[in-house]
Structure 1
Amino acid sequence: MIDYTGKVALITGGASGIGKALAMALSERGADVVVADIQEELAKEVAANLPRPGLAIPCDLSKPDASAPLLKEAFDWKGRLDLVCANAGIDRHKRMTKEDFGPETMRMFEVNMFAPFRVAQAYAAVLTGSDVRGRLMITGSENSLSLPHAVKRTHIGAYGATKHGVLIMAEWLREDLGGELMDVHVLMPGGVYTPLIASGIPDPAMIPPEFNVIMPEQCAEIALKGLDLGLFYIPTHAHIGDDIRPRFDGVQDALKQLGLT
């Protein structure tokens, strides 16, 4: 188990949902936590109420120039930054045949896919020359790996594209780092009871069991266990493995029919 005593963690999207649960769990394990979020007042409230009161930084990660000053301020707070959870994310429901790829969709790509890697670049910059080895956990999704059965009628194709992109970019980031500066991990949650779900289902007891939705605290517990184990892929639900199977089987069948096996 990683000892976070005396270490500093930055959580983007830390004012609610998975980010808030990560902030609480890390603080409970001894970390000094920086809560970054576009929701400034909520971020301040979360930071102030952690077991070890933290620092809140307002930040809009849809802005390409937001990451560098965020990482510098977080690092300068205690003179170190041991863990960054690039967790901020937004969704969008639109049929692919109707998707206009306008400003709203492009903002989602900025926040979900580009921001984690701008954060990674800024993190590498502040780690360079320091005596701190970093750890970066990017929040992807079960949608990073497949088109999950549970969401097939929710019209989140563009959102799924951002999360597919996160995974391959994280794999390339790990490759390009070559073991230097930081370790990289990808958290891939299935259904988690975040404000995105709560807005439509205010009472978690009303969620259909087949949706297999877990609470943010359980997601955070799995995430930290994945970090403890040094895992690159950190899935949160058993069905994620099953959901990958149709794609794998489809490729294998195509290879067979093409005479390439």
Structure 2
Amino acid sequence: MFDLTGTVALVTGGNGGIGLAMAKGLAEHGARVVITGRNPAKNAEALAALPAGSLAVELDLAAPGATEVLLDKVLAEAGRLDILVNNAGMNIRKRPEEISDAEWSSILEINLGALMRLTRAAYPSLKASGRGRVINIGSILSIFGVPFSPAYGASKGAVVQYTKSLAAAWAAEGITANTVLPGWVETELTDGARRDVPGLYDKILSRTPMGRWGRPDDLAAIAVFLASEEARFVTGTAIPVDGGFATLG
């Protein structure tokens, strides 16, 4: 079960945190993995942690034409694309009355706009695969609100709805589309929040039934499952991986 041999997986933002953990999981189950990231040093370090034959592409997904450049590289080097993990994202922690138009736009551009363009451009390859998989990384903030991440929460909520549209539109062609909703995970993205928001770390601990923050490798298995043939009848879902945080309402 969960054998991904012969498939090619593209993981955006795959040079660290949740993205790298998912890339490792997919590679361990047989997929050839391509990761993207803007930092060449982090890309090289991540590539060293992946099996031989993995690829890293230095890329800013917000740059004009970036999605076409990326897909051309993937197809030229790997010959196909079966699994797309849209993990790249950003956040700016400000209250709703403080965030500027430019900051709002930059967050939605990366978290939603670039995701949409890459998924749209990947469609012919996913269709040709016969078993295409789209795995979009949302957030527990797709469900809950916090006062310091209005644009991030809005973008991730939109990702859930966009994914449902993908699932409805592409199911007949064997393509599944699902959203993973990470809870509070110890990554670079949450480092600042743990540092800047007084009491946040302990507040999360106190309402998480599992009694800890998540680790990036807690997200690897859900990516493997959703990418596998065993998940062929699972589409349009939004799956929390949060230590039970969402169960408390």
TM (normalized to structure 2)? 0.84
Contact 1:185 1:227 in 2 (8 A): no
Aligned position for 1:75 = 75
Contact 2:138 2:159 in 1 (8 A): yes
Aligned position for 1:161 = 154
Match of 2:246 among 240, 245, 255: 240
Aligned position for 1:62 = 62
TM-superposition CA deviations, 1:220-258 (whole Å, max 9, x none): 223333445524322102222443xxxxxxxxxxxxxxx
Paired-residue identity, %: 32
What are structure 1's unaligned runs of at least 5 residues? 244-261
Structure 1 stretches (4+) deviating beyond 4 angstroms?
199-202, 226-229
Match of 1:172 among 165, 172, 197: 165
Query: How far 1:10 sits from its partner (Å)?
Result: 0.7
1:194 matches 2:187: yes
Aligned position for 1:120 = 119
For residues 239 and 201 of structure 1, the distance between their equivalents in structure 2, rounded to whole angstroms, comes to 17
Contact 1:64 1:110 in 2 (8 A): no
Give the secondary structure class of the aligned counterpart of 1:179.
helix
What is the Cα-based RMSD across aligned positions, in Å?
A: 2.2
Contact 2:82 2:129 in 1 (8 A): no
* Equivalent residues in 2 for 1:182-261, closer than 5 Å: 182-199=175-192, 207-208=201-202, 209-210=205-206, 212-228=212-228, 230=231, 231=234, 232-237=237-242, 238-243=244-249
For residues 240 and 170 of structure 1, the distance between their equivalents in structure 2, rounded to whole angstroms, comes to 20
TM-superposition CA deviations, 1:32-54 (whole Å, max 9, x none): 11011111221122123313341
* Equivalent residues in 2 for 1:90-105, closer than 5 Å: 90-102=90-102, 104-105=103-104
For residues 174 and 101 of structure 2, the distance between their equivalents in structure 1, rounded to whole angstroms, comes to 35
Aligned position for 1:46 = 46
For residues 170 and 186 of structure 1, the distance between their equivalents in structure 2, rounded to whole angstroms, comes to 7
For residues 170 and 221 of structure 2, the distance between their equivalents in structure 1, rounded to whole angstroms, comes to 27
Q: Aligned letter for 1:110?
A: E
Give the secondary structure class of the aligned counterpart of 1:84.
strand
Contact 1:80 1:132 in 2 (8 A): no
What are structure 2's unaligned runs of at least 5 residues? none
Aligned position for 1:142 = 140
Tell which structure's C-alpha radius of gyration is larger. Answer: 1
Q: Aligned letter for 2:42?
A: L
- Closer, same or farther: CA 201–178 of 1 in aligned 2, 3 Å: closer
Query: How far 1:168 sits from its partner (Å)?
Result: 0.9
